[in-house]
Amino acid sequence: MPDQTAIPEDAIPENSAELARPSDSRLSTEEITPPLTEWLSAKAGSPATITGIHPPDGNGMSSETVIVDAEWDGEQHNLVVRVAPDPKSDPVFPDYDLDVQFKLMEHVGTTTKVPVPPLYWSEPSDAVIGYPFIVMGRVDGEVPPDVLPYTFGSWLTEATEEQRQQLQRETIEALAGIHASPMPEDLLEAPRDGETALAAHLRRVEDFYAWTIEGRSGSPLLERALQWARENLPDTDESLLTWGDARIGNVIYQDFHPAAILDWEMAARGPRELDVAWGIALHRFFQDLTEMAGMEGLPTFWRRSDVEKMYAEASGVTPKDMDFYVAYNTMIYSMILFRVQCRAVEYGQAEEPDDPDDKILNKATLAAMIDGTYWEGIGDQR
């Protein structure tokens, strides 16, 4: 169990399950059905009928998603329509280029054996339903939940150790497959002259933080973490296609096998360790919360040492500087949590705390990581 002095109970606010996706930012399914039907008919080249439309259950807070059942040419099509959020709804991220995400999935699907969802069409304009959107085929299966996190009790905690290890191994193999894909040069922003891909990544993280705190009080902890990242940035010029949000909550599983890799809004050029460490950082966040709630969670799942070993076996490359990358990714996720909690305050779902750092649910973990004391507190879970 993590050192209780590293993760105090008051680090977990009462609204820890709130992901601040306000209901009034969601689309009206009644309003978008007629124009979407007309658009589907034009794309399919045949009259289409929408027989069902509703928002999904489960993960996702960065964009709008609509589940659509449609018919054309006498066939049933089970679709997922992912829609860019309204900029006026105070979104989690400043930019949402769904067309690029669609093309990235096409690229990965055609250049690797990594499973991606069936891809129908991309609509980059806001002329149809008011916002850009993409249409994908619906993939049946199970997704590890974020709220409450899968460590609190889920189909993963009910699985056998062998099933979890299979899921872990095959997901890591898919991640290695993404990294083996040729770089889609026209889809990802290139570093500036004299800048490594990792330095460019940090620059964009700094830009995201600056955007997050516009008109708000900043976070002393996040600013300390950014300074730490600048001072400890590894010297590497590796530049691969990275998934960005590389975690099991963005994978649909069928019988513990990855069936579709989702959510590419954080894809970027960078070293492979960005992706390898992201899943570790997110699992540590969930596991720490679970243990602070007095539950066992999944202490033998997604352990850092196991993930590093499995990735090396799958890719032929041993990850380096992982202390940095896990802490760096924890910082990035802390920024996202900070942003989400700012939205919750603005939508009246939470009160503004006296200390801005209290908006960061994993603030104690982040502080311990950049101070170099975190890993000594979790024992054999490393």
Query: Which of the residues are catalytic?
Result: 245
**75-83/64-72 β-pairing:** antiparallel
The helix/strand/coil state of 128 is: coil
Rounded Cα gap, residues 133 and 126, in angstroms: 8
Pick the closest to residue 120 from 107, 102, 132, 104 (CA basis).
102
CA pseudo-torsion sign 306, 307, 313, 317: negative
Cβ(83)–Cβ(132) under 8 Å? yes
Question: What phi and psi, each to the nearest 5 degrees, are found at residue 268?
Answer: -160, 165
Burial grade of 298 (CB within 10 A; 0-12, 13-18, 19 or more): buried
Cβ(309)–Cβ(264) under 8 Å? no
Token digits of residue 55: 């928002």
**How many residues does the structure list for the chain?**
382
Cβ(124)–Cβ(132) under 8 Å? yes
Helix (H) or strand (E) holding 72: strand 64-72
DSSP 143-211: ---BTTBGGGSSTTTTS-HHHHHHHHHHHHHHHHHHHTSPP-TTTSPPPPTT--HHHHHHHHHHHHHHH
Pick the closest to residue 253 from 316, 352, 164 (CA basis).
164
Task: Residue 324: count other Cβ atoms within 10 Å of its Cβ.
Answer: 19
Question: For residue 237, which amino acid is it?
Answer: D
Backbone Cα Rg of the chain = 21
Chain centre distance of CA 365: 19
